[in-house]
Chains A and B, each alone.
Chain A
Amino acid sequence: MTQHVKSTSATFDTGELDRRGPEVAGPLPAGPARSRLSWFMLAVGLIAALALPWIIYPPVAMDIAAWALFAISVDLLLGYTGLLSFGHAAFWGSSSYVTGLIAIHWGLPFPLAILGGMLFAMAIAVPIGYLSVRRTGIYFAMVTLAFAQMVYFVANQLSDLTGGENGLQAIPRSFFGIDSVENDSFTFYYAAIALILLGTWAAWRIVHSPFGRVLVAIRDNPARARALGYDVDRYKIIVFVLSAGLAGLAGGVFAISHGFTSLQELEWTTSGKVVLITVLGGIGTLWGGPLGAAIVVTLEDKLTSSGFEGTGIILGSIFVVIVLLFRHGIWGTVADLLHRRTDPRPNPGE
């Protein structure tokens, strides 16, 4: 009977996998209750962002803000377009280098240096996005991961420019000669948070625009979006580049805040960490990113300062638990509960 089994046919069917998508948190309660809740949350979010450096050490507060925007950039792809980028460190890290180089060699004020870094991240996102959107689902994650590793190797090779293993040291924090911003991390926080909030606002605008609605349509049913006449790949490339820009903005702020950057910011573990933050907070919400960033950055800070060297054990365990039990993340779980309280109908998504 074996002659019926062609020996060249040890190929597995992979088509079905593209049809499923990541679970996204349920929508918030509809109607006036929703809009009241949105404004309330917006106010809480703003107050939290402004009060943060009073509560915790300002450089750590800055880290939380930068990682929050970084996570939002990942959520723009994962939560709103259904694409898991496992290579976003390429944009965060390369922007941190370009920001640092501009600040060191040209001495420009830091917002301009960050703008340069951000533009660079968007520029390299064009070819990476163009190639990566040819695959969907799990393939997209693998391809973006591989391209990010390529960026890492290139940065490692260009050691004359990037400092190789040593990274970029002594990045100045120039800001129009205003001494308190340049030298005091508390005041600097308020100068830099403006950039982070600007990026967050941009993400909010993208999500709530007609463009954003098309993205969600692509996430939920790519074939239907295509049938309706939308150029799906084009939309994906555009949102990929926009997302890279936000990741670049966050990476630039991070580099200026720390005064140095290293290859670690380009490593695949950084890509993994931002995905962890996004999933922990809850995807498809925009609020999940800041929440996840606050938890993970604070936890890491506490673990490092207590001398514990197994951060990966803790972060990995969180990842495993979240993926197994709380796939909607913290924000999503809370939103689901609210949803259940205000709407007694069973949620068909569950």
Chain B
Amino acid sequence: MSAFVQYTVQGLAAGGFYALAALGLAVIFGVLGVVNFSHGACYMLGAVAAAVLLDVLHVHFWVALAVVPILLFLVGVLMERLLIRWLLRLDPLYNFLLTFGLSLILVDVVKRRYGVSGLPYERPAGLDGQLHLGGIGLPTYSVFVCLLSLVVCGLVWVLLTKTRVGMIVRASTEDADRTRALGINVGRWVTPVFGFGIALAGLAGVMAAPFRAITADMGGNFVIILFAVVVIGGLGSILGAVVAGFLVGLVEAYGQAYAPTFAQVAIFVLMAGVVLFRPAGLFGRDESA
């Protein structure tokens, strides 16, 4: 029983990274119609930035947690302004390919600068021990990751559903023209939303820094799992991204615990099942093609 709880916490922690990053992917897709292939590279940049800030400027983990997403927000703004913007009116495949090219560049730049071996990052004090709850020992950091990602997802949810900004963002995804007709400048929100999505990937990267090996390649497999997550959840759905993120994390953790050979394959089997029985995803709308 205690082992099962440990696996569950482990899965929810891994799922937290997926949920946060998939949330960013879903917000960007919703507003811009862009599937951002460089999301994995941005997650990697977040982790590398945290490690470099700690090493060079001795920026503490808690500060990095706030600073790195802001840096990644700026990276996202630059990306959108300089590149993504020019292809928004075309088939989304073009921005998919563009961001794929970008992630090749980002990964190799980091590889050339920091090498292929992992950068070190110590777990911050206070989060490195074990937590004992009802006689079950749990790694404090995993619990922290679960809670923080849930809180952030909740905040984004409130932002989107309860605030004026969120309403504008959702309205412009529903029907951009009609939103414009109501006197709202939709174009103004495109850049900040892209930056915001990238910042979420960066946040997931910082949280992963003390937890995973920080290498230039860490985003490669990550982004493919993210795609599986949004296909499972339904690409346009915020709730779907979060739920599927945690679900995939759990599948991965239980897989590693009970059937290590098939742990990584299990995620894709889950995706195949969803595509077969519910092509629009668990929370997606049916396509009326």
**Chain A contact residues, CB within 8 Å of chain B:** 2, 5, 7-15, 17-18, 20-23, 84, 131-132, 134-139, 141-143, 145-147, 149-150, 153-154, 157, 222-223, 268-269, 272, 275-276, 279, 309-313, 315-320, 323-324, 327
Contact = CB atoms under 8 A, between A and B. Distances in A.
B105 A317 contact: yes
Counting contact residues on chain B (CB < 8 A from A), the size range is: 35 or more
B91 A20 contact: yes
A220 to B, nearest CB: 13
B109 A310 contact: yes
B103 to A, nearest CB: 7
A309 B112 CA distance: 7
Contacts of B121: none
A66 to B, nearest CB: 21
A11 B238 contact: yes
Give the interface SS of chain A, mostly helix, strand, loop or mixed. helix
Contacts of B87: 323-324
A99 to B, nearest CB: 23
A10 B268 contact: no
The 5 closest A-B pairs by CB, nearest first: A319-B101, A316-B104, A312-B108, A12-B30, A12-B236
Contact of B109 (A135, A150, A313): A313
A149 B268 contact: yes
19 contacts: A5-B161, A10-B238, A12-B29, A12-B31, A13-B174, A13-B285, A17-B33, A18-B289, A20-B92, A135-B279, A138-B96, A139-B231, A146-B231, A154-B265, A157-B265, A313-B109, A315-B104, A316-B105, A323-B94
Interface of B: 26, 29-31, 33, 35, 83, 86-87, 90-94, 96-98, 100-105, 107-109, 111-112, 157, 160-162, 167, 170, 173-175, 220-221, 224, 227-228, 230-231, 234-240, 261-262, 264-265, 268-269, 271-272, 275-276, 279, 283-285, 287-289
Contact of A14 (B220, B221, B235): B235
A2 B162 contact: yes
Nearest to A136: B289
B239 A10 contact: yes
A327 B265 contact: no
Contacts of A22: 91, 93-94
